[in-house]
């Protein structure tokens, strides 16, 4: 339920995002959607981040900057309603395409991280954190320095609960995975420019036979803000060259 | 802050003034409102009830924003630039999500002790506002004794 509420907030945010939007406006929109429209009892830690991503960390809060000028905006949110949820909608403008493309290189690594991280099955006592990348693989000297960038944690009435899944502690102290557990899986991967990165958090529920991802807003690709133009023949490509190519293809039939 | 020291501090300067008059060697704060008074730093509602980010206000000198950074370490690039945020890796029990045998409380206590030793304050009384019991016990095992705040 809580994951759905935040999915709805991201949908509204995606529709609203455009170059020139300020971070505080994005935060206000998400907070209002989750609290007022969806009725969450408590909205916590809605973050909007423009500019240098992951420097020092994705969770930087409430600076007032223009998304367009900063080339992209990443919004994360947690709600205190049993479940927290962080996903990453983005906006870019012409100034930011080059940097955004470098970030694109990082994004495909993240679903893989999630897949590896949630490979644990109910009843298993395997060290599920061992399938996550080592700190050195993504640029950190040790697991403590990288802690919280690749981790999983249970979610219940509080947003930090057992089990803890982290290479920092779980290899020596694993928790048993049980059906009904709900995890947040927080993933991070650096881009090649040395300072930006992508970060996606998904939530899963452990089932008798595996797991189900309960966060549904698309996060596997960077999203470009802007209204899609839907026609009777489908969604119109945003890029005029693509539209021209599609038109030529139709006329050549 | 005001309930801890009874001096009604309202900003970082006032906090330092109060600290200099205190019998405590340092004040350790996990309450984010106190952290905001002392450091003039607010890191959002995210940290408000986590009891995991903290600051250490020594009797003299500026507060050290140990653990104030939000989640995880800075990027390698930030570390290379010598960012102020490139210090003090995160330590926390995550409100019990970390079990005692994982040793995170001892890690917090160790980092606090290192900072106190740097300032020659490790044998002085240490004040705290709120603290997780396992962190307090770890501090005690490291030699710190605690006592209730005397009635004013």
Residue B25 · residue B125 · CB < 8 Å: yes
* Residue B146: count of CB within 10 angstroms of its CB: 13
Q: For residue B109, how far is the Cα from the chain centroid?
A: 10
Closest to B46 in 3D by CA, of A33, A154, A27, A65: A27
**ipTM of predicted complex:** 0.70
Report helix, strand or coil for B42: coil
Query: Shortest CB distance from B76 goes to which of A61, A140, A148?
Result: A140
**How far is the C-alpha of B10 from the C-alpha of B34, rounded, in Å?**
9
User: Which chain B residues have any C-beta within 8 angstroms of a chain A C-beta?
Assistant: 42-46, 48, 50, 69-78, 83, 85-86, 89-90, 94-99, 101-104
The residue in chain B having the minimum alpha-carbon distance to the alpha carbon of residue A141 is B76
Asked whether the beta carbons of residue B98 and residue A169 sit closer than 8 angstroms, the reply is yes
Asked whether the beta carbons of residue B102 and residue A164 sit closer than 8 angstroms, the reply is yes
**How far is the C-alpha of A57 from the C-alpha of A197, rounded, in Å?**
10
Burial grade of A204 (CB within 10 A; 0-12, 13-18, 19 or more): buried
Instruction: Give the helix ranges, DSSP H, for A51-108.
Output: 67-70, 97-106
Residue-level pLDDT, tens digit, chain A, 253 residues: 777 888 888 888 888 877 777 777 888 888 888 877 777 777 776 766 655 544 444 444 433 333 333 223 334 433 333 233 333 333 322 222 334 444 445 554 554 444 454 444 444 544 556 678 888 888 888 888 788 778 888 888 777 888 888 888 888 888 888 899 988 888 777 777 666 666 777 888 888 888 888 888 877 666 766 666 778 877 777 667 776 777 777 666 6
C-alpha pair distances (Å), A164 with each of A21, A68, A117, A167, B79: 37, 37, 12, 10, 26
**How far is the C-alpha of B74 from the C-alpha of A148, rounded, in Å?**
11
């Amino acid at each position: 339920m809580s994951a759905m509420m935040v999915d709805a907030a991201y949908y509204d945010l995606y529709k609203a995002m455009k170059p020139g939007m300020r971070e505080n406006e994005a935060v206000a929109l998400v907070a209002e959607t989750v609290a007022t429209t969806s009725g969450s009892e408590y909205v916590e830690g809605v973050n909007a981040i423009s500019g240098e991503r992951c420097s020092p960390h994705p969770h930087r809060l409430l600076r007032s900057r223009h998304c367009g000028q900063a080339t992209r905006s990443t919004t994360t949110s947690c709600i205190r309603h049993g479940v927290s949820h962080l996903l990453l909608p983005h906006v870019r403008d012409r100034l930011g395409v080059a940097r955004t493309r470098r970030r694109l290189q990082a994004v495909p690594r993240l679903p893989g991280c999630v897949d590896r991280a949630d490979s644990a099955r109910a009843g298993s006592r395997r060290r599920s954190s061992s399938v996550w990348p080592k700190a050195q693989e993504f640029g950190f000297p040790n697991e403590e320095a990288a802690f919280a960038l690749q981790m999983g944690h249970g979610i219940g009435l509080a947003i930090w609960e057992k089990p803890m899944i982290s290479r920092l502690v779980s290899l020596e102290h694993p928790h048993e995975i049980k059906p009904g557990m709900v995890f947040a899986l927080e993933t991070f991967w650096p881009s090649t420019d040395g300072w930006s990165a992508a970060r996606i958090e998904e939530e899963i529920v452990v089932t008798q036979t595996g797991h189900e991802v309960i966060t549904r807003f698309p996060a596997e690709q960077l999203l470009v803000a802007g209204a899609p133009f839907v026609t009777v023949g489908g969604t119109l490509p945003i890029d005029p060259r693509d539209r021209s190519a599609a038109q030529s293809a139709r006329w050549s039939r | 802050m005001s309930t801890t020291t009874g001096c009604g501090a309202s900003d970082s300067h006032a906090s330092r003034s109060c600290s200099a008059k205190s019998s405590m060697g340092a004040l350790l704060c996990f309450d984010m409102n106190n952290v905001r008074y002392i450091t003039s730093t607010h890191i959002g509602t995210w940290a408000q009830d986590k009891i995991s980010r903290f600051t250490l206000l020594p009797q003299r000198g500026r507060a050290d924003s140990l653990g104030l950074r939000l989640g995880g370490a800075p990027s390698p690039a930030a570390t290379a630039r010598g960012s102020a945020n490139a210090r003090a890796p995160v330590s926390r029990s995550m409100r019990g999500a970390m079990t005692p045998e994982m040793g995170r409380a001892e890690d917090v206590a160790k980092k606090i002790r290192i900072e106190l030793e740097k300032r020659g304050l490790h044998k002085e009384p240490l004040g705290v506002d709120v603290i997780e019991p396992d962190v307090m016990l770890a501090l005690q095992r490291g030699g710190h004794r605690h006592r209730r705040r005397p009635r004013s």
